[in-house]
Structure 1
Amino acid sequence: MFCGGWVRSGVGSWVWVWVGSWMRMWMGPWFRFISWFWVRAWVGSWMRMWMGPWFRFISWFWVRVWVGSWMRMWMGPWFRFISWFWVRSRMGMWFWFRFGFFCWARMRMRTWTEIILF
């Protein structure tokens, strides 16, 4: 409650500015990385509260995008080949899953509607 009054009065924001400038002086080049990490963590906690169950799916999507961009930078031309191999393996798993279900449905004499829908 005491801190809330500080923030409402505007003193809290200046305290954080002072702390941030001191940390920048103390940490040097690490400060940008760590402060950006904290900004993302704060935005993430706000989005989790706002989006509810959708947050896990969307945040996992962004984690994969971030890892992919980092891997592209790290691996160079190998990245395209390896990522395309991964895409093909995923497509292959999807194909075999559908094909296996198709065979199972025909074996049980299911209707074409069930085969198409599932």
Structure 2
Amino acid sequence: MVPDVPIDDGVEPTPDEPVPLDPESFESFLQSHDLVLIDVWAEWCGPCKAMDPAVEDLAAEIPALAVGKVDHEQNPDLLSDYRSLIGRVVSSLPAFFVFVEGECVEQTTGRQSKADLEALISEYR
């Protein structure tokens, strides 16, 4: 009997909880996962905090989805540096971006239900 040995295919396992991102980790996170939801938030943002349980649930419940969180206050230039990638400046929080193979394919802002976020990513799963 051959023991189960994980195969190292160079792809990072998909985390089952949101991962804090900063300028040093943002691009590699996008490139390391096929399906990514980025949650842009701020500590002072009530709707952002209200979204945390839904975002955490999605990370835990959807095996193919990697969820990254960007603190807009701590990383104000990060998303402006990636403006060409996301197609706009983030002017409202929370903001959510869906990436497939490193390309931004969906985005929305404001408080969303868990079902709204699931619908946003459903066609890419």
Which protein has the larger Cα radius of gyration, Structure 1 or Structure 2? Answer: 1
| Greater share of residues in helix | 1
Q: Structure 2-normalised TM-score?
A: 0.20
Q: Structure 1-normalised TM-score?
A: 0.20
| Greater share of residues in strand | 2
